[in-house]
Amino acid sequence: MRWSEVLRHGDQILVAVVEVAGAVIIFVGALWAALRFVVVGLRHRDAALFTPIRLSLGRFLTLGLEFQLAGDILRTAVSPTFTEIGQVAAIATIRTALNFFLRREIAQEQRQVGQAGGGPPP
C-alpha cells in the first residue's frame, strides 16, 4: 500500500468518525429534549417551561452541525476536485446559515428567559 493510499483511507476513517460524532450529538440532544419534554409536560402545562428544553436542543443541533461540517471539510482535504469543492461550499453555506439562525434564536430565547426570570423547572 502506498503512502497516498494510506492517507486516503485514513482520511475516510477520520471523516466517518467526525460525522458519526455529529450524528450522535444530534441524536443524544433530541433524545434528551424528548425525555425532558415528556417529564415537564406531565408535571406542568405551562408552555414557557418548554423554552429551556428548546434552547438545549438548539445547542445540541448547533454542535452536531459543526461536526458534520468538519466531516465535509475533511472529506475534501485530500486532493479535492472542483466538484467536491463546490459541493462543500454549498453544504458549508447551508449549514452555516442553519447555525446562524439557530444561534440567533437561542440568544433571543435566552434573553426572554432572563427577562422573565424563568429557568428550567426543579
3-class state of residue 119 by DSSP: coil
Convert the pLDDT of each residue in 7-60 to its tens digit: 667 778 888 999 999 999 999 999 999 999 999 888 887 777 788 888 899 889
- Domain membership of residue 33 as a residue range: 3-116
3-class state of residue 57 by DSSP: helix
- Domain assignment present for residue 111? The answer is yes
Kindly tell me the burial class for residue 42, based on how many C-beta atoms sit within 10 Å of its own C-beta (0-12, 13-18, 19 or more). exposed
What nine digits make up the cell of 43? Answer: 408535571
Tell me, what's the pLDDT at 29?
A: 97
Does this model's pTM top 0.85? My answer is: no
- Domain assignment present for residue 122? The answer is no
Count the domains in the chain: 1
Q: Give dist(CA 119, CA 122) in Å, integer.
A: 9
Convert the pLDDT of each residue in 66-112 to its tens digit: 899 888 888 887 667 888 888 888 888 888 888 888 888 888 887 87
